[in-house]
Amino acid sequence: MKTPVFRGSSVAIVTPFKADGSVDFDALGRLIEFQIASGTDCITICGTTGEKSTLADGEHRECIRFCVEKVAGRVPVVAGTGGNDTRYSLSLCQYAESVGADALLCVTPYYNKASQTGLVRHFEYLADRVSKPVILYNVPSRTGMTIAPETYAQLARHPMINGVKEASGNFSLIARIRELCGDELNLWSGNDDQVVPMMALGAVGVISVVANVAPAAVSKMCRLALEGDFAAAARLQIEYLRLANDLFLEVNPIPVKTALGMMGLCSPDLRLPLCEMGAANADKLAATLRHYGLVD
């Protein structure tokens, strides 16, 4: 049995920017403190929601270092270090290790993609050369490919591959992963509208977008599920479904950054090719935030 890197809710934290486009580390520090104070169990830095794809290499590394130092061991830090260039991904993994990240989140290669054999070689190449747990990230809607159940079973045998953030939304796949891998591969939901159903199938938590704006609710939902109170957890899942849906009215992280701007927690600024939310969707999102008491 592999001990999970974390149980419960990890926020896929945004990367705030200043008006000049540079990373706003003061705002990032405030967001980290807000998350920890609200009961978030883990911080995931430089993922999709953190706009990793538009961070320069130096910025990416500095965000990881800053997050680890700011968290200071209070909760685990998972660093987004994946990519479609295996050697470059390894350099990020090794840097994250060197500054104290607790685990490494590695997405399936995108654009060039890979065969299932190539996926095994890619992830094993990374896992063979690191000393921190690797969390795979399967998100076919972003990468154009998926990890097959038999590939999961092969990767689960590697001692450094701890689990997977599963964002395929395919419950038949998820059930098959559990059948083939058991406790040798931990599962985290990558979809905020599917947290409780996935935990009913054995997932140990979520890497969450919604937790950016409602961290206490997501943390409580996971805690209830981990305690076996799936009825109460399901009620929270349904109660917050409107928020989960509206935070994906446009491509992530446009809505969640817009929401954080409305809440006064950080600037809503994004980096191209992402741009500001459409007016009608922004009005709908504002109404949803008011519904949950997140803005006046």
Residues labelled as active-site residues: 137, 165
Q: Locate 6 and state its tokens.
A: 């974390």
Compute how many other C-beta atoms are within 10 angstroms of the C-beta atom of residue 3: 10
Which residue's structure tokens are 């928020």?
243
What type of residue sits at position 101? A
Give the CA angle between residues 226, 227, 228 to the nearest 5°: 90
Residues 102 and 5: beta-carbon distance below 8 Å: yes
- 244 contacts 210 by C-beta, under 8 angstroms: yes
Compute the CA torsion angle 259, 263, 269, 270 (nearest 10 deg).
-30
Strands in the chain per DSSP E: 8-12, 42-45, 77-80, 103-107, 134-138, 161-166, 186-189, 205-208
Write phi, then psi, for 136 (nearest 5 degrees).
-70, 160
Q: What are residue 163's DSSP bridge partners?
A: 135, 186
Token pair, residue 91, equals 């350099």
CA distance 112 to 29: 35
Q: Is the peptide bond before 253 cis (omega within 30 degrees of 0)?
A: yes
Distance CA 284, CA 282 (A): 5
Residue type, 128: D
